[in-house]
Structure 1
Amino acid sequence: MFNFQLLSQFSRLAIGASSVVNKSVNVRGIYTTGVQQFNVTNQLWAEPMRKKKKMDPAIIKAREERRRKKIEKQIRRLEKNARQLKPIDEVEPPLHLLDQLGKRKRNVVVTPEQEEARALLLKDWTRYKREEYISNVAQVDRIMAAQRRALDMLYEESEDLYNEALMPDLSLIPYTIMGTYATPPIKNYDSPDGEYQDVSKEWGNK
């Protein structure tokens, strides 16, 4: 016995599917149907490759030679200034002192015994400074350990006193400033526009 209601649903589904499948789609002017399942890729609009111009081998060789000479010149210039440090104006002595170098220089002859005595004195001074540094570090360690023990004992007595002891003492170094908060404007003041003159010296580039 046939189920006419189920048969009618199948017929409606078949009709709807056939209407969707047979529907034509217009993609970039190309008509396709769902049955054939055509896919259209994007247009890349590529241009043909340009034809390379034939050049004279002598011209190419001359260009390579000029490029090589330019690089070699730069390398020689860098090697020339490799060990030459950039001068610092603040460290350079004045010219008038350089002119008087011969007058100011003392010709002192140091004997080998004096050199040995100076070396021994330098070693003694180095040992003394090392012992002084070690003693200072040990003293700071002892002070910090005693402070830590005192704070631990204070914490056992009262937590409020402990917290108050950890607070910085603002009255230890009193510092107050009294002055104006803003300066009055200057009448008829022409504000600069930010231009400046570069007076830095060029070095090592020539």
Structure 2
Amino acid sequence: MFKLFSNLVINQNVLGTVRNISSCNGPLFFRASIPMFAEPLKKKKRLDPQILKAREDRKRKKVEKAIKRLEKVSKTLKPIDEIQLMAALNNEIGNRQRPPIDINNEKLEERIRTLKMWSKYKHDEHIFNLQVLSDLEYSQQRALNELREISEELYQAAIQIDESLLPYTLEGPVETPPIENYESPDGEYTDISKKWD
């Protein structure tokens, strides 16, 4: 009797498809073919056109509301942590502020005079430096011209750049062969920047 059930094959014809249940590999090893898992399609309900229109209106209003909310948020500026005042300092702001200084006209005029004198001094200093540079350049060019009249070889030697004036040396790795079995870093990083919507 057990042998009979182990080789049992049941065939059914439902909706034009064949469904097989077999226990060939053992009495407890049942397999169902794929069509067994299907279910009949649900009938589509016909909805009232007014209900469909109301749903579309609700969706449209929701999108418009979200757009308005985003427009309001876009006007607010992002806070900058470096500019924001710490809470501890904000509490002490009364103690940290200096009292306003009343400056009388005499003191104000003295400051203006000092500022004008300082501006004139710095202007004169700048003009003097420009004049010294111009004189040095003129003297150098005149000396080179006289040297050229005497000897072209000495002139060419004089206009060469002196490498010893700029002692700049570079020492670094030269071209190296690739490292075997080297796995380059994948470039992952943790983004800790704040997100503002």
Amino acid at match of 2:114: L
Equivalent residue runs for 1:17-28 within 5 Å: none
- What residue is the counterpart of 1:158 in the other structure? 151
TM-score normalized with structure 2 length: 0.51
Asked whether 1:196 is paired with 2:189, we answer yes
Amino acid at match of 2:127: I
Asked whether 1:74 is paired with 2:67, we answer no
Amino acid at match of 1:78: S
Asked whether 1:168 is paired with 2:161, we answer yes
Amino acid at match of 2:132: Q
Q: Helix, strand or coil: the match of 1:110?
A: coil
Amino acid at match of 1:199: I
Asked whether 1:107 is paired with 2:103, we answer no
In structure 2, do the counterparts of structure 1 residues 132 and 176 end up closer, same or farther at CA, with 3 Å as the change threshold?
A: same
Aligned-partner Cα distance in 2 for 1:77–1:110: 43
TM-score normalized with structure 1 length: 0.49
Equivalent residue runs for 1:46-61 within 5 Å: none
Percent identity, aligned pairs only, is 31
Amino acid at match of 1:143: L
Number of equivalenced pairs = 139
Per mean C-alpha deviation after superposition, the further-off stretch among 95-104 and 151-160 is 95-104
Runs (5+) with no aligned partner, structure 1: 1-53, 183-189
- What residue is the counterpart of 2:26 in the other structure? none
Per-residue deviation, 1:61: 5.7
In structure 2, do the counterparts of structure 1 residues 104 and 163 end up closer, same or farther at CA, with 3 Å as the change threshold?
A: same
2:124 pairs, out of 125, 131, 139, with 131
Q: Helix, strand or coil: the match of 2:112?
A: helix
Q: CA RMSD in A?
A: 3.8
Aligned-partner Cα distance in 1 for 2:115–2:87: 34
Aligned-partner Cα distance in 1 for 2:84–2:144: 55
Aligned-partner Cα distance in 2 for 1:88–1:133: 41
The structure with higher relative contact order (CA 8 Å, sep 6+) is: 1
In structure 2, do the counterparts of structure 1 residues 172 and 96 end up closer, same or farther at CA, with 3 Å as the change threshold?
A: farther
Amino acid at match of 1:138: Q
In structure 2, do the counterparts of structure 1 residues 140 and 67 end up closer, same or farther at CA, with 3 Å as the change threshold?
A: farther
